[in-house]
Structure 1
């Protein structure tokens, strides 16, 4: 009964059953087994410390041997593993492996023992134990033997080991028919072996073969996809790498730590894919634009010849498909014969099976092409617009033009030549776009991926491309930092000298000449300037916020701080000019800085928040329970506003039964409100002076109007005060 409850995962009732045996039948010959099963249940209930205490007492008090000893020590080892006492677990597993009568259990205990040795860093001891598992051969489940081989391979010393012997072992594991159920793991280990030997293509092939076994091991699939993603990323095929990381996440537990790590890596790729695409497209256009007329003609004549050859091949293919379709139609018209009556097909095979009839197969292929088009045999073949990592190269760009051209234009080289920009302004614009993409890629590789060599190449290519002045100094400084990180001291010294000599008054020169004395938050640093502007924003000086934000956006163009200034500027525009200006600014940020956190935040705001704020309709005050008393002032009369607010605050302190407070809110460029908050009744708000003491009421003579909190929000957002006053004061 106790075992039945245990296997049914009803652990508390199982514990009761085992305790009952210990209480009622202390002299039973099964008493030791009952004690072991009780502790096994305690372990499942996460009472590991109690299980360790009871099992140690059992081993001390009873002279256990054979299977009882194996069961007790194996359970004690499990409790030690749960409590991270791996060295103690190894000792108990040694006893269990020697005591058990079951070779199945012996293989399992030895294999776990080897895994623990690996975790403890004792690879030699682990290999000895794995050899013991392998020596059991067919006496233990093959899973343990194969896993032991694979673990030994993982422990292989590539500096001193016999690589030829290892290669022979890997080949034997791969070709042995008995190992077919374990090919997913074998292929993975072989792929890892080739990866360590820098045989990237072979490694990629075996990781893909591991996936093609349709393994049910989700962790193994995730690991395969992750490695393939990393390999693809190293090849700079970023869209493909992103697809691999998507597949990795699909095989990981949602929101687990590994999932979050891969998701962060995948999100970071968005920027790389975006800017690499821009760089490739612009590079292609510029390379074509720089060709002479004769070179352009030669290039596109060759391209047109290739197009014609492809068109002829496609035409022949379509003719063959039509013939096959005709045969299939004739075959269908003859009628569906009874299965035993024969018909065209593979000799000796029943015509009833679809794939035995070549005409029906041809018809099926034709129907597939009609519905799906010509699709390559690969994963996710049904995706209609799979991202191409090579997008943006010359062939891709030209191919898009060819796809949209007429039949006559497609085979005319001059048509393509006419599409190449020749206007100097257009070429300069493309060049600027390319240079900015290079700069962003350099920053991304340096800051996000720590790929310093890739970053170095991008900054060097940028500086060789005659970039705008605003990108030169930041690029040189980033190059200096990269040289320093890579230990390229001579290059770092040259870069530092160049910056200090050419830009002596820049903040970069100040940092380089006085690295110990220059505070990272000096008064000219972007972060400090942003904080200063933000403080001005809190003071509601929105005109200054807009002006200074625009100035800093120009100064720091290309740096990560720019989207922050844009977002701050958008908020100031909204507070000063209303909803329409705010919406335009938010949409601009969402489009212009789409791959930055601020751009993504702006996009979320455009999707979720702006539609909720769009309505200008005022609500009925009867449904509100929060009201404000508004005193309207000319914004230019700051002294009068400050004096009035001081007086108002003194008066509000004397009000009984209500906790009121005041604030100064800018309405627009000409108007400022002094607002009283804390009133929960419209009638009380309208008779505001009556709740003041008589002597205080005489001090507050300025006219006011009352508005509910919801309507106050609407009139501040849409700047429609006149509409509200006309509705409520007809």
Structure 2
């Protein structure tokens, strides 16, 4: 005991003391700590799902955005590993005369750093690694520590510093095997973060060669394959994917399958052997080991058939991919979107809309792809709506035009089909009921056999009440489901009847509250109406006014469809069909001229020049006074004399915009957009409306308007300008953080007015201008700026500092005195605030005045 007590001391630098604490540290504390660390890493790996649609990270770890307070941990295993590391340092550390005598303490600090690193507390992890470098420079783990320190630096976005230190480490030390692989892998990740992909490729090659861990080797090869694919080097990419395929069962199956799929994506379908390639895909599909990945395999096969114009086969495989249970939302969205596009190309817009709805459920909300699909889906709403009106009204008008005999024959066939369908439904219900009763009977028999085998005398079962309570008896009234179904069927057949004699008689029918009805209301009579052709014939409109109304609604639907197909979808053939059909159906006068003009434009697009010339001559001859005729005669004219022309209206609206009448501009622009549906001038009104909304409601409204123009009119000049704004200007305008006054050069004084008050703004501006004119040492000017619907600013521009702006406003409040020394009442008494020009632009753009005032 004295020997042990002497060895426990951490203050004596003896052979016994050093080895006692070193052994206890290594085989007790650190052993348990490393076990906890490995459990935590396995847990992270189990939670992590590889996203093979994007470039894989070099290290299999997803950084979480959650914020934890000091002392909190994300993972209990890492918390335990950290505790063990701290215990080793505190309990077994032998710091004597400034030197650590326990050779295991450096490994304790390394365990501490790793636990914090995997717990995603990178700053404390960096501190642990730096502690080793500062206190234990001769440690045998020093190279590993340097690598881990730079991995933590990379996680903290210090990529340049990490690259510099790792390259110095590689130059100074001869790293081998796993240490070399880890250093090269960390370097590769830093280069990838800096978008230096060529450098990353070289580092990953060495890492893949040096690592002995098969999973890491497969990962490095896969990333190299992805980088080669991005660079268009398919042969080099296939070499990397083949290296993964050759490892087969030595690596996770997900890498093996995705290597096959990535390699198949590089197949040359123009010059390659299509039969051999199809057999290759079929082998992947039929391999039993690949069942968990059939969703991706089916998708790849579907893409192959679609690229080879086998739409029916591709559609079947897209649906097979969707039917497989998968957590891959991106793959689901690809399947749904592709199917939607296929139906869109077939002009089946209603079905396409349903697929786009499903696509959006599998996408990240408010992402750019989501917004594109959403806009496309919203455009389809109008198509689906007007196609429904056109088809319904066409059917009604067609039936009305038939002789009565043909109407009767049509509805007779329709009602016969209804009867057949109803009988089939009843048969299926009866079969389901019979099946349910059989299952209940089998369950009862099984229960009875179980009871006998549990110890009851042969041939004697328990009391019937057991079966009744459990609902397992085959007797009709012991099965609650069967009883409920029977009640519903009775009510359908007989209605609600009192419990009394002669209940079947027709005069015994009772309403829901039990009162006897004089008239018979039975299901049979309702069914007779449902299956009676005369019911439908009687429902057809007979008044000419009703028929005209249906025809008018149908014609307007055709016009809208023609314009939508032409402008939004560039489906000129469909647009041509709709507008030609419209003109054959005796439309209203207001639809004839724009339909003919749009047909003229469509004929030009389709190369039908003779038809276009006929329509052109018709418009010029029969509608000589119209703006369409003037456009055709002189396409370059501004039509400024025509007060109803889009050019004239737009010019006046723009003047309103310059006068800050933004609400009026928005309202009138919307009117013109509806009136001129299909006209080339519509995008101009859209962009003017977006600008007015931005001035009145702020940045968000402006961005929504620009986004709509970019997606709805992509081929117009305004649409291209909107796309450029979204790419270059919008990200800059989105910034709403206020800048420091030290960085500004121009400042303003703002006077705020409520638009709903009775204050005379014009009189105030006149007085202010008089006072400003007295200031000779500044080049000052004033303006009246609308802030929002309720607020107007009067602004003094031209001041050079925030103190100067406040001093100027305060000077205007100072009492003046006349020649006799008597005080004169100050002319400017309204409250003000001073602001730099950049911050003034921000509050006007984002309407965040209150946020700025809180900072003052």
Q: Which TM-score band applies after superposition, normalised by the shorter structure?
A: 0.5 to 0.7
In the TM superposition, what is the alpha-carbon distance from 1:556 to its structure 2 partner? 5.9
167 and 497 in structure 1: CA distance in 2 versus 1, 3 angstrom threshold = farther
Contact 1:511–1:518 (Cα < 8 Å) also in 2: no
Which deviations, in whole Å up to 9, do the C-alpha atoms of 1:663-702 show, x marking residues without a partner?
Answer: 9xxxxxxxxxxxxx9xxxxxxxxxxxxxxxxxxxxxxxxx
Question: Does the aligned pair in 2 maintain the 1:496–1:512 contact within 8 Å?
Answer: yes
Alpha-carbon contact 1:275-1:437 (below 8 Å) kept: yes
Q: How many residues end up aligned between the 2 structures?
A: 545
Partner of 2:288: 177
Q: Distance in 2 between matches of 1:516 and 1:169?
A: 60
Are 1:471 and 1:558, in contact at CA under 8 Å, matched by a contact in 2? no
Deviation at 1:128, TM superposition (A): 2.5
Match of 1:152 in 2: 263
How far 1:558 sits from its partner (Å)? 9.0
Counterpart residue number, 2:549: 429
Measure, in 1, the Cα distance between the counterparts of 2:145 and 2:224: 25
Partner of 1:161: 272
Q: 1:35 aligned to 2:146?
A: yes
**In structure 2, distance between residues paired with 1:185 and 1:540:** 56
Q: What is the match of residue 419 of structure 1?
A: 539
For 2:321 and 2:479, the matched residues in 1 are separated by 32
Could you give the per-residue CA deviations for residues 196-233 of structure 1, whole angstroms, max 9, x where no partner exists?
22333332332222222221122222222222332333
What residue is the counterpart of 1:588 in the other structure?
none
Partners of 1:230 and 1:482 in 2: CA distance: 23
- Verify the 8 A CA contact 1:439 1:475 in the aligned structure 2: yes
Deviation at 1:147, TM superposition (A): 0.5
**How far did 1:82 drift?**
1.7
1:77 matches 2:188? yes
Taking the TM superposition and a 5 Å limit, the aligned residue runs for 1:22-171 are: 22-171=133-282
Give the match's secondary structure for 1:9: coil
- The match for 1:466 is 586
Q: Does 1:287 align with 2:398?
A: yes
Cα separation, 1, equivalents of 2:247 and 2:293: 18
Deviation larger for 320-329 or 247-256: 320-329
Q: Find 1:443's aligned residue among 560, 563, 586.
A: 563
The yes-or-no answer on 1:252 pairing with 2:363 is yes
Q: Could you say if the C-alpha distance between residues 4 and 412 of structure 1 is closer, same or farther in structure 2, counting changes exceeding 3 Å?
A: same
The answer to whether residue 301 in structure 2 is matched with residue 301 in structure 1 is no
Report the equivalent of 1:476: 596
1:458–1:367 Cα change, 3 Å: farther
Equivalent-residue separation in structure 1 for 2:329 and 2:670 (angstroms): 51
Q: CA 1:122/1:653 → structure 2, altered by over 3 Å: closer, same or farther?
A: closer
Which shows bigger deviation, 151-160 or 234-243? 234-243
The answer on whether the counterparts of 1:325 and 1:362 sit within 8 Å (CA) in structure 2 is: no
Distance 1:173 1:424, change over 3 A: same
SS of 1:406's equivalent in the other structure is: helix
2:125 is aligned to 14
Query: Which residues of structure 1 form unaligned runs of 5+?
Result: 344-350, 372-402, 566-595, 597-624, 632-644, 656-662, 664-676, 678-730
CA-CA distance at 1:129 after TM superposition: 2.0
Among 312, 331, 334, the alignment partner of 1:220 is 331
Label 1:300 to 1:105 Cα distance change in 2 as closer, same or farther (>3 A).
same
Equivalents in 1 of 2:362, 2:660: separation in Å? 50
Task: Check conservation: 1:510, 1:518, Cα contact below 8 A.
Answer: no
User: 2: CA distance between counterparts of 1:8 and 1:521?
Assistant: 73
Deviates more, 1:113-122 or 1:482-491: 482-491
- Structure scoring higher RCO (CA < 8 A, sep ≥ 6) equals 1
Distance 1:132 1:439, change over 3 A: same
For residues 589-668 of structure 1, what are the structure 2 equivalents within 5 Å?
none
Q: Which residue does 1:278 correspond to in 2?
A: 389
Separation in 1 of the partners of 2:575 and 2:425?
Answer: 43
CA deviation after TM superposition for structure 1 residue 151, in Å: 1.0
Q: Which has the larger radius of gyration?
A: 2
Q: 2: CA distance between counterparts of 1:326 and 1:127?
A: 60
Aligned to 1:515: 635
CA drift of 1:288 comes to: 1.4
Distance 1:103 1:554 in 2: 64
Cα offsets for 1:566-599 (capped at 9, x unmatched): xxxxxxxxxxxxxxxxxxxxxxxxxxxxxx9xxx
Change (3 A) 1:647 1:248: closer
Structure 2 CA distance for partners of 1:444 and 1:404, relative to 1, 3 Å: farther
Q: Is 1:529 the equivalent of 2:640?
A: no
Alpha-carbon distance between aligned partners in 1 of 2:481 and 2:591, rounded to the nearest angstrom: 58
What's the offset of the Cα at 1:550? Answer: 14
Which segment is superposed worse, 185-194 or 328-337?
A: 328-337
- The match for 2:824 is none
**Matched-pair contact (CA < 8 Å) for 1:321–1:366:** no
Aligned-partner Cα distance in 2 for 1:213–1:72:
41
**Residues 279 and 106 (structure 1), Cα distance of their counterparts in 2 relative to 1, 3 Å cut:** same
Determine the C-alpha separation between the residues in 2 that align with 1:451 and 1:16.
64
CA distance in 1, matches of 2:483, 2:191: 64
C-alpha contact 2:440 2:474 (8 A) present in aligned 1: no
- Residue 358 of structure 1: how far off its partner (Å): 9.9
Q: 1:163 Cα deviation (Å)?
A: 1.2
Question: Given that residues 67 and 99 in structure 1 are in contact (C-alpha distance below 8 angstroms), is that contact kept between their aligned partners in structure 2?
Answer: yes
CA drift at 1:171: 1.2
> 2-side partners of 1:370 and 1:212: how far apart?
37
Q: 1:495 to 1:336 in 2, by over 3 A?
A: same
Deviations 1:24-73 (A, max 9, x none): 33333322222222222122112222222222333333333322222222
| 2:640/2:648 contact within 8 Å kept | no
The CA deviation at 1:258 is 1.9
Alpha-carbon contact 1:230-1:241 (below 8 Å) kept? yes
Do 2:245 and 2:259's aligned partners in 1 also have CA atoms closer than 8 Å? yes
Q: Name whichever of 126-135 and 327-336 sits farther off.
A: 327-336
Mapping 1:170-209, distance limit 5 Å: 170-209=281-320
- In structure 2, the CA distance between the partners of 1:557 and 1:227, relative to structure 1 (3 Å rule), is closer
| CA–CA distance in structure 2, aligned partners of residues 11 and 112 of structure 1 | 25
User: Structure 2: how far apart are the matches of 1:257 and 1:141?
Assistant: 33
Measured in 2, the distance between the counterparts of 1:405 and 1:553 equals 53
CA contact 1:226–1:245 (8 Å) conserved in 2: yes
Question: How far does residue 195 in structure 1 lie from its aligned partner after superposition?
Answer: 2.1
Contact 1:436–1:558 (CA under 8 A) maintained in structure 2: no
> Which stretch shifts more, 318-327 or 131-140?
318-327
Contact 2:390 2:554 in 1 (8 A): yes
Task: Determine the C-alpha separation between the residues in 2 that align with 1:174 and 1:193.
Answer: 13
